[in-house]
Structure 1
Amino acid sequence: MSLMAVVFAETVHARELPVETYVYGLVALIVFFALGIVTYSYRDVANRHRAKAEAYAKRHGGSEHGGH
């Protein structure tokens, strides 16, 4: 046998996936959903600390963090 025949004979064997293909999509969907929940939990967090933000703006001239 030539070298190429041996290489092609070795690459013919395919491996089975451990689970069905739709499970990979389902896992990705669950991960993205969980990351979306984490991101959503930080919504409006700046307004929860309005006193700190106002004190910072007074000390630093109000030019940073959206101050006018």
Structure 2
Amino acid sequence: MTLATIIALATETAEHHGNVQGETFVFGVIAFVVFVALGAVTLSYRNVANRHAHKAEAYAKAHPVDQAQVGHGHH
């Protein structure tokens, strides 16, 4: 056998004609599940400030803010 014959035989047996959509469908499902999980994590942080409003009010009463210091830290 020559090298060309071996390569020709190897390429003939290596050909695969299948359903490419069916083989790659799993990747789409995995991506969808990951995005749904990340969306659930993002939604879990909704309205967090309002859940702890009583703590924010207590902190504001305990630490009165001078009106000259209100802003972005500029003096």
TM class by shorter chain equals: 0.5 to 0.7
Point out which structure has higher relative CO (alpha carbons under 8 A, 6+ apart).
1
Identity percentage over the alignment? Answer: 55
Deviations 1:26-58 (A, max 9, x none): 101111101101110110011011111112223
The number of residues matched between the two structures is 49
Gap runs ≥5 in structure 1: 1-8, 14-18
TM-score (structure 1 length as normaliser):
0.55
CA RMSD of aligned residues (A): 2.9
Match of 1:24 in 2: 27
TM score, norm. by length of structure 2:
0.51
Please state if 1:51 is matched with 2:54.
yes
Ranges in structure 2 where 5+ consecutive residues have no aligned partner: 1-6, 15-21
Structure (1 or 2) with the greater helix fraction = 2
Q: Which has the larger radius of gyration?
A: 2
Moved over 3 A (4+): none
